């Protein structure tokens, strides 16, 4: 027998050659960047800078110098901005790749560092920009005029250092999911707590910090040292990218792709469903409860109470947004009215996913033997209580601030069922239809179906909360709210709930 040598298996291609081959195939399929696309993007950036540049500059650096010593509120606002930046980074990854790269390149034997380095660079640059702008904004609201270059540089460098450490914390949470839940709760609580603290300071009188407490030279040196330490930590993170786990990057790629689909397909309802699935997928420690077995509480109301209890971490957002109208008390009435009503609608939507699931899966309700009127009446209870409590607290805070006079908190409680009706109608909405007539605007064509989807529930809210709207517009700060406004709002809420329950069919399948 003549021995036959086995064919020599060619060695695996180098990583550089593999990436070059993939880049060539991608260019052949998609083409290179079109000059028209580059021109349109550049023109859009220049137009945005021309239209919004001057107002943003005035917000960051007001033309009127602050009087006396520095106030505490700008520092609290900066903390809220950086906490919000941390939350946004946690939602986006922060290390992420495209879905195609996550499918083909992430599991391949390619250098993980070259694949994740662009995302790390983008995160670091974003942290530097956001932190520097936030620090300069704080200096613009507390520094005396004229402010020297040392003051501006010290504030910008210090803000950039804090933002870089926030980005590093987000990177650590992505790599270690065990610490992510605690860090996310702290970030949300910090942002909401800063909003509440700033509102309380504005109502009680903003305390002052002596300007000579910390000299600018010390702030500059401390900020520069902290920024250098943060950048060194980023470099160490870049070196450790080879050992970065695959699952968090793949999940971040899926989330980023979903956000891109929402923008491209103009479909925000998909984003809501994805957020709900992501939230419940992270609930690994779900405790049992006796609410469903207790006959004292109706079953669908008990389900909403369970959802509300398990969303305890998200309750910080309604608490924080309740303080936002305090900042708008001296502004235009229409803006204050919109923030109050939309905030109440968002608070009532904490349990909206149960209503959405009822509308999308009526067969389950038929198996339970529940009629549509029973389901609707029970689903309105918890959102009405949450929205009424949010409105009562918000209007009471405005009353303490001196913007309102009279029993506005009672008016907020009575408006809760009306807001719940609007939230119920919005939760039942299906995906937006983009096959209808297009509305031509200076910024391009806009589908009418999308506009109708955005207004779904808000139109009902505007009609049923008309006493609150008219009261905020007509009743001045020095005038007490009359009791006839309470009767009008109670009647409006009762009529809205009765019509909604009556319109619900005799079977659950007609929701």
- In this prediction, residue 168 carries a pLDDT of 93
- In this prediction, residue 9 carries a pLDDT of 43
φ, ψ for residue 444, nearest 5 deg: 125, 175
Instruction: Look at the alpha carbons of 230, 235, 238, 243 in this order and tell me if their dihedral is positive or negative.
Output: negative
Residue pLDDT, tens place only, 154-176: 999 999 999 999 999 999 888 88
| 139 pLDDT above the threshold of 50 | yes
Q: What does the alpha-carbon distance between residue 289 and residue 293 come to, in Å, rounded to a whole number?
A: 8
- In this prediction, residue 8 carries a pLDDT of 42
Residue pLDDT, tens place only, 31-47: 665 677 677 778 777 87
Mean pLDDT over 246-274 rounds to: 72
Beta strands in 174-247 (DSSP E): 208-209
Tell me which DSSP letter residue 214 carries.
Answer: S
Q: Domain ranges for the chain, please list them.
A: 60-260, 297-510
Higher pLDDT, 29 or 143: 143
Tell me which DSSP letter residue 96 carries.
Answer: -
Higher pLDDT, 209 or 226: 226
Closest among 397, 424, 425 to 412, alpha carbons compared:
397
Residue pLDDT, tens place only, 309-356: 887 777 878 888 888 888 777 777 888 888 889 889 988 888 887 887
- In this prediction, residue 481 carries a pLDDT of 81
Indicate the length of the chain as a whole number. 511
| 504 pLDDT above the threshold of 60 | yes
- In this prediction, residue 231 carries a pLDDT of 93
Q: Residue 403 corresponds to which tokens in the numbers above?
A: 């913007």
| 423 pLDDT above the threshold of 60 | yes
């Amino acid at each position: 027998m003549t021995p036959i040598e086995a064919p020599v298996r060619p060695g695996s291609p180098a990583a550089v050659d593999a990436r070059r081959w993939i880049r060539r195939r991608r260019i052949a399929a998609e083409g290179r960047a079109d000059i028209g696309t580059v021109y349109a993007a550049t023109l859009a950036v220049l137009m945005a800078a021309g239209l919004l540049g001057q107002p943003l500059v005035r917000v960051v650096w007001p033309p009127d110098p602050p009087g006396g010593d520095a106030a505490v509120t700008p520092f609290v606002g900066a903390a809220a901005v950086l906490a919000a930046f941390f939350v946004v980074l946690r939602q986006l990854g922060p290390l992420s790749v495209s879905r195609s790269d996550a499918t083909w390149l992430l599991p391949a034997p390619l250098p993980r560092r070259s694949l994740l380095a662009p995302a790390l660079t983008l995160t670091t640059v974003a942290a530097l920009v956001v932190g520097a702008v936030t620090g300069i904004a704080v200096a613009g609201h507390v520094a005396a005029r004229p402010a020297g270059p040392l003051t501006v540089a010290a504030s910008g460098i210090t803000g950039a250092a804090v933002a870089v450490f926030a980005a590093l914390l987000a990177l650590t949470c992505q790599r270690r999911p065990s610490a992510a839940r605690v860090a996310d709760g702290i970030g949300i609580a910090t942002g909401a707590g800063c909003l509440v603290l700033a509102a309380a300071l504005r109502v009680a009188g903003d305390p002052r910090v002596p300007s000579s407490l910390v000299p600018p030279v010390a702030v500059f040196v401390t900020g520069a040292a902290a920024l250098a330490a943060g950048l060194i930590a980023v470099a160490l993170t870049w070196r450790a990218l080879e050992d970065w786990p695959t699952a968090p990057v793949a999940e971040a790629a899926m989330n980023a792709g979903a956000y891109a689909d929402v923008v491209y397909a103009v479909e925000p309802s998909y984003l809501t469903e994805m957020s709900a699935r992501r939230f419940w997928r992270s609930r690994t420690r779900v405790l049992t409860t006796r609410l469903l077995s207790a006959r004292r509480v109706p079953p669908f109301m008990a389900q909403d109470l369970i959802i509300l209890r398990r969303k305890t971490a998200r309750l910080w957002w309604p608490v924080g947004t309740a303080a936002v109208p305090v900042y708008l008390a001296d502004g235009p009435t229409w803006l204050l009215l919109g923030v109050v009503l939309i905030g109440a609608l968002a608070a009532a939507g904490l349990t909206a996913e149960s209503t959405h699931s009822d509308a999308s899966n009526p067969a389950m309700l038929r198996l339970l033997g529940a009629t549509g009127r029973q389901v609707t009446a029970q689903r309105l209870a918890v959102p009405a209580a949450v929205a009424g409590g949010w409105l009562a607290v918000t209007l009471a805070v405005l009353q303490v601030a001196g913007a309102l006079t009279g029993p506005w908190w009672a008016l907020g409680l009575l408006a809760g069922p009306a807001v719940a009706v609007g939230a119920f109608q919005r939760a039942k909405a299906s995906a937006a239809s983009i096959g209808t007539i297009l509305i031509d605007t200076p910024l391009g064509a806009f589908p009418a179906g999308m506009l109708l989807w955005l207004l779904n529930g808000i139109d009902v809210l505007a009609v049923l909360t008309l006493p609150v709207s008219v009261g905020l517009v007509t009743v001045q700060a020095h005038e007490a709210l009359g009791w006839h406004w309470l009767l009008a709002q109670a009647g409006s809420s009762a009529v809205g709930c009765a019509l909604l329950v009556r319109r619900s069919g005799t079977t659950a399948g007609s929701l």
